[in-house]
């Protein structure tokens, strides 16, 4: 076992042994369990508490389908879960600098590049596992509640979002290498998200760059077509570049 | 003997502040080297540069024959380091942390298990199964020393290793460092003079970013010991001490209960001529007059005292 693999193991164990295991997976599991039920019964709940006017409106809109459950999942991923990723990973690198643990690790045979790459890698895998499990639960729950649940729209939507989520882990890795403050990095991360969402409105950019992933999960979850090959490929390539930049920025820092 | 640490004209600036100013230092392999200085003198900055955590503004720094500017994992594999306030993963136990630290060096399981056992014993943490988050500062400091030894380093660098320890903990750490003499080069910074006096063979004193003196500890004490004169008279010691105190060459006069007068002098030659004359003029019986040995504390105060005022 060399320094890199020992550090990867530490990072993975840290997820399981600290608050990290509860926050993202807990959030995803809660959305996965409640999403299908909310999609199915929200109209009935509104009808029950909203009186005759609400009942009239509800008659005019179609009955919910399994695609509404998928839309719920995609909306939670693109909004709430992404925000959580940005805030949680604002201190991915700076947290270890602040607590002094980086000093003990980096005076041993672990390069700063290995330190940064290991963190980005482990947390990307963690996000992938958590989102996959959450999507599986959503899929099963939707099938139970609606009796029908085609896999294509849900999985293509979730995987497109995952590429976007990994991009944001890379962005936060870079920001937390550059900035000492978790709140500062998270603030800038949210700003980047806002910019990407606005840029996604311009179609040529959305077709050929990662910004297309801001809206693609919602489109795919609705069962519609969305060309995501370029956005996904460019997003993963950009993630690698951002992590490389983060490693370079961290190498130039004094600890 | 080759040098484990070689620093040439090292300067480090932070904006307009000069933390280190043309520092020259040589630490011989196998020695126990005390890096002494008041708080804020630049000791931690020097250690951060030696370990590659910070970069020199000017000058060259060589560790185990390698320039730290280009030092890689191979150099770090031979170094053990304890920062002034070690930061641990608080969710780990001491044993887990030592296994993790050993894993970073690529140490095999069997050797690592053996070393972990020995080092936990040394740190007084055998059988402690609570997480590091619940440790006292002293326990963390002892674990810090243990983790710095996990790779059996050629060069052990410690920043204020005893400052957070109680007297027993201090003694244990100092005894342990002393036991490494000849096997590992130990370079440790401190502001506790007694620690240096007790175990170091060589010392450098840093004051406001500059090395004031570097020498083997005996030589240093002898060199400055010549600046102290001890006089013993049969009677009239009080009046004589008062008279000596008025002399220009006497910088400090101390009285012992047995009639001994200790005088710190600015010019030992003048003092050796004038003291006997003063004793003779008062017709006092001179029982003893000799060059006294100055303790490291006095050397330290004399060398850096001005900067503290």
pLDDT digits (tens, 9 = 90+) for A212-255: 999 999 999 998 988 889 999 999 999 999 999 999 999 999 99
Say whether A108 and B83 touch across the interface (CB within 8 A). no
pTM: 0.85
Structure tokens at B71: 């030092």
CA angle A187, A169, A141 (to 5 degrees): 105
B77 in A contact zone (CB under 8 Å): yes
CA B80 to chain A, closest CA, distance in angstroms equals 8
CA B244 to chain A, closest CA, distance in angstroms equals 53
Q: Which residues from chain B sit within 8 angstroms of residue A104, using beta carbons?
A: 81, 83, 86-88, 101, 147
Which one of B55, B91, B101 has the shortest CB-CB distance to A14? B91
Structure tokens at B218: 């005996």
The pLDDT score that the predictor gives to residue B53 is 93
Say whether A3 and B101 touch across the interface (CB within 8 A). no
Residue of chain B whose Cα is closest to the Cα of A19: B91
Question: A109, A4 in Cβ contact below 8 A?
Answer: no
B282 in A contact zone (CB under 8 Å): no
Question: A69, A138 in Cβ contact below 8 A?
Answer: yes
Question: B233, B286 in Cβ contact below 8 A?
Answer: yes
Q: Which residue has the tokens 């060069």?
A: B155
H-run or E-run covering B133: none
Closest C-alpha to B81, from B15, B10, B153, B14: B153
Cα Dmax for chain B: 79
CA angle A255, B3, B4 (to 5 degrees): 40
B283 in A contact zone (CB under 8 Å): no
Alpha carbon B259 to its chain's center = 34
Rounded distance, CA B94 to CA B90, Å? Answer: 9
Q: Which residues from chain B sit within 8 angstroms of residue A20, using beta carbons?
A: none
Alpha carbon B171 to its chain's center = 15
3-state SS class at B161: coil
Say whether A100 and B100 touch across the interface (CB within 8 A). no
Closest C-alpha to A123, from A2, A239, A205: A239
Closest C-alpha to B107, from A6, A104, A103: A6
Residues 118-157 of B with CB under 8 A from A: 147, 151
Rounded distance, CA B282 to CA B284, Å? Answer: 5
Band of pLDDT at residue A40, cut at 50, 70 and 90: confident
3-state SS class at B188: strand
Q: Which residues from chain B sit within 8 angstroms of residue A3, using beta carbons?
A: 73, 103-106
Looking at the DSSP bridge assignments, the partners of residue B211 are B206
3-state SS class at B67: strand
Predicted confidence (pLDDT) per residue in A124-176, tens digit: 999 999 999 999 999 999 999 998 888 899 999 999 999 999 999 999 999 99
Which one of A10, A17, A104 has the shortest CB-CB distance to B87? A104
CB within 8 A of B163, min separation 6: which ones?
B84, B141, B190, B191, B192
B58 phi, psi to nearest 5 deg: -145, 160
Alpha carbon B245 to its chain's center = 33
Which one of B55, B87, B100 has the shortest CB-CB distance to A254? B55
Say whether B72 and A111 touch across the interface (CB within 8 A). yes
Closest C-alpha to A255, from B42, B25, B49: B49
Instruction: Supply the DSSP symbol for A77.
Output: I
Which one of A9, A17, A101 has the shortest CB-CB distance to B87? A101
Which one of A2, A7, A101 has the shortest CB-CB distance to B88? A101
Q: Which residue has the tokens 């499990």?
A: A133
Could you read off the pLDDT tens digit of each residue along chain B, which spans 309 residues? 589 999 999 999 999 899 999 999 999 998 999 999 888 899 999 999 999 999 999 999 999 999 988 877 878 999 999 999 999 999 999 999 999 999 999 999 999 999 999 999 988 899 899 999 999 888 898 899 999 999 999 999 999 998 878 888 888 888 888 888 888 999 999 888 888 888 899 999 999 999 988 989 888 777 776 677 889 888 888 889 999 999 988 888 888 777 789 888 878 788 888 999 999 998 888 888 887 766 677 777 777 765 443
Rounded distance, CA B82 to CA B69, Å? Answer: 20
B287 in A contact zone (CB under 8 Å): no
What does the mean pLDDT of chain A come to? 92
- Better-scored residue on pLDDT, B183 or A11: A11
The angle, 0 to 180 degrees and rounded to 10, between the axes of the packed helices B137-148 and B167-179 is 10
Which one of A102, A108, A254 has the shortest CB-CB distance to B76? A108
Say whether A18 and B83 touch across the interface (CB within 8 A). no
Predicted confidence (pLDDT) per residue in B70-92, tens digit: 877 878 999 999 999 999 999 99
Closest C-alpha to A120, from A3, A246, A16: A246
Q: Which residues from chain A sit within 8 angstroms of residue B72, using beta carbons?
A: 111
Q: Which residues from chain B sit within 8 angstroms of residue A18, using beta carbons?
A: 91
Structure tokens at A250: 């961290």
Predicted confidence (pLDDT) per residue in A72-111, tens digit: 999 999 999 999 999 999 999 999 999 999 999 999 999 9
Could you give the ipTM of this predicted complex?
0.89
Rounded distance, CA B37 to CA B22, Å? Answer: 16
Q: Which residues from chain A sit within 8 angstroms of residue B81, using beta carbons?
A: 104, 107
The pLDDT score that the predictor gives to residue B164 is 75
Radius of gyration of chain B (CA): 24
Structure tokens at B125: 């943490």
- Helical spans, DSSP H, in B106-156: 109-122, 137-148
Rounded distance, CA B100 to CA B120, Å? Answer: 14
Say whether A109 and B105 touch across the interface (CB within 8 A). yes
Say whether A100 and B79 touch across the interface (CB within 8 A). no
Res. A38: pLDDT tops 70: yes
Closest C-alpha to B114, from B125, B132, B99, B104: B99
Rounded distance, CA B204 to CA B213, Å? Answer: 6
Alpha carbon A76 to its chain's center = 10
Rounded distance, CA A64 to CA A39, Å? Answer: 7
Question: A87, A186 in Cβ contact below 8 A?
Answer: yes
């Amino acid at each position: 076992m060399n320094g890199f693999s020992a550090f990867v193991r530490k990072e993975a164990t840290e997820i399981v042994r600290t608050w990290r295991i509860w926050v993202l997976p807990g959030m995803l599991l809660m959305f996965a369990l409640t999403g299908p039920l909310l999609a199915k019964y929200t109209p009935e709940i509104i009808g029950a508490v909203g009186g005759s006017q609400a009942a009239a409106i509800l008659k005019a809109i179609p009955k919910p389908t399994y695609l509404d459950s998928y839309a719920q999942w995609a909306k939670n991923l693109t909004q709430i879960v992404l925000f959580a990723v940005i805030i949680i990973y604002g201190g991915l690198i700076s947290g270890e600098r602040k607590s002094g643990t980086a000093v003990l690790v980096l005076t041993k045979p672990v390069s700063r590049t290995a330190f940064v790459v290991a963190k980005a890698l482990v947390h990307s895998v963690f996000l992938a596992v958590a989102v996959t499990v959450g999507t599986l639960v959503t899929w099963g729950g939707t099938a139970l509640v609606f009796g029908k649940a085609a896999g294509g729209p849900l999985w293509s939507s979730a995987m497109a979002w995952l590429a976007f989520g990994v991009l944001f882990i890379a962005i936060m890795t870079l920001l937390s290498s550059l900035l000492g403050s978790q709140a500062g990095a998270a603030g800038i991360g949210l700003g980047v998200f806002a910019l990407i969402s606005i840029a996604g409105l311009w179609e040529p950019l959305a077709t050929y760059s990662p910004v297309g992933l801001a809206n693609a999960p919602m489109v795919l979850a609705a069962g519609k077509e969305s060309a995501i090959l370029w956005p996904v490929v460019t997003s993963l390539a950009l993630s690698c570049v951002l992590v490389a930049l983060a490693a370079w920025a961290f190498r130039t820092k004094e600890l | 003997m080759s040098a484990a640490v070689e620093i040439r004209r090292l300067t480090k600036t932070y904006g307009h502040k000069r933390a280190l100013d043309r520092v020259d230092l040589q630490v011989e392999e196998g020695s126990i080297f005390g890096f002494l200085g008041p708080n804020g003198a630049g000791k931690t900055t020097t250690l951060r540069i030696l370990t590659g955590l910070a970069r020199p503004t000017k000058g060259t720094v060589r560790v185990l024959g390698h320039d730290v500017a280009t030092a890689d994992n191979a150099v770090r594999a031979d170094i053990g380091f304890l920062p002034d306030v070690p930061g641990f993963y608080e969710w780990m136990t001491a044993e887990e942390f030592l296994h993790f630290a050993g894993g970073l060096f690529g140490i095999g399981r069997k050797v690592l298990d053996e070393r972990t056992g020995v080092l936990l014993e040394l740190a007084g943490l055998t059988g402690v199964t609570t997480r590091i988050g619940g440790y006292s500062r002293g326990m963390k400091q002892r674990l810090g020393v243990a983790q710095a030894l996990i790779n059996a380093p050629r060069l052990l660098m410690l920043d204020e290793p005893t400052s957070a320890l109680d007297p027993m903990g201090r003694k244990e750490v100092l005894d342990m460092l002393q036991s490494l003499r000849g096997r590992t080069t130990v370079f440790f910074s401190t502001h506790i003079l007694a620690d240096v006096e007790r175990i170091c063979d060589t010392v450098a004193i840093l004051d406001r970013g500059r090395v004031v003196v570097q020498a083997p500890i005996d030589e240093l004490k002898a060199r400055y010991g010549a600046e102290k004169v001890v006089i013993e008279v049969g009677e009239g010691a009080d009046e004589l001490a008062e008279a000596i105190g008025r002399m220009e060459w006497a910088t400090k006069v101390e009285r012992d209960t047995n009639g001994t007068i200790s005088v710190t002098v600015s010019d030992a030659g003048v003092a050796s001529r004038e003291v006997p004359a003063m004793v003779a003029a008062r017709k006092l019986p001179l029982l003893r007059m000799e060059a006294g040995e100055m303790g490291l504390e006095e050397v330290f105060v004399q060398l850096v005292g001005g900067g503290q005022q």
